[in-house]
Amino acid sequence: MRLPKSVQEIADVIGYHKALRLVRDLPPCGKRERRRNIYIPKPHNLKPDHQLVKLVGWDDAMALAEEHGGRAIQPAECRYVERAIIEDRRILDWYDLGYTAKEVAEKLGITEKWASAVIDAREMHEAGSDIEVIAHSVKISPLTLGYILRIDIGGDQCPVKPRGQRRPPKPQLPLEL
């Protein structure tokens, strides 16, 4: 399953679950509660008492240092991943126990529309539909569907849709009095 790019580059080195655990265990940084930040030292500067070693262990810290040494990384918090894994999969669990979409929505405190969309997405996937077709039909992003349905969607999906091309900067005129 794909992660945000800032977390995926960590997961490519130490693994999916360890990357999620690292991001979750990082303390907040700065005024924003959801901002995370960690400096990855170069391999020759990595010490046993470094925060990274305490969070992931020596071997994984050294692997990160060899790959990303000398960089400060601000990984995304991955809240949508937790929501998809924990909350949205419960929809399918309750549905598998014989509850209707309306009953599942009432039990979990969500809208019936969302419960139906998740259930329909799984049924379409089991019927062999393409992930893009499912995403368009139920109006859930392919990335989120990947987490809910436990499938690897591949490609270069991002959790946030790009907003198109950036406008070119306006020329700055010197202010002279």
Q: Is residue 1 scored above 60 in pLDDT?
A: no
> Using CA atoms in the order 119, 125, 129, 131, what is the torsion angle rounded to 10 degrees?
90
Q: Is residue 66 scored above 80 in pLDDT?
A: yes
User: pTM for the complete prediction?
Assistant: 0.60
Q: What is the mean pLDDT of residues 125-129?
A: 90
Domain ranges across the chain: 5-73, 79-149
Phi, psi dihedrals of residue 102, rounded to the nearest 5°: -65, -45
Buried residues in 57-91 as b, exposed as e (16+ CB within 10 A) = eeebbbbbbeebbeeebebbbbebbeebbeebbbb
- For 71-100, the pLDDT digits (tens) are 888 888 877 777 777 778 889 999 999 999
Q: What is the mean pLDDT of residues 28-41?
A: 81
HSE toward the beta carbon, residue 107, CA cutoff 13 A:
17
Q: What is the mean pLDDT of residues 131-159?
A: 77
Burial degree of 135 (CB within 10 A; 0-12, 13-18, 19+): buried
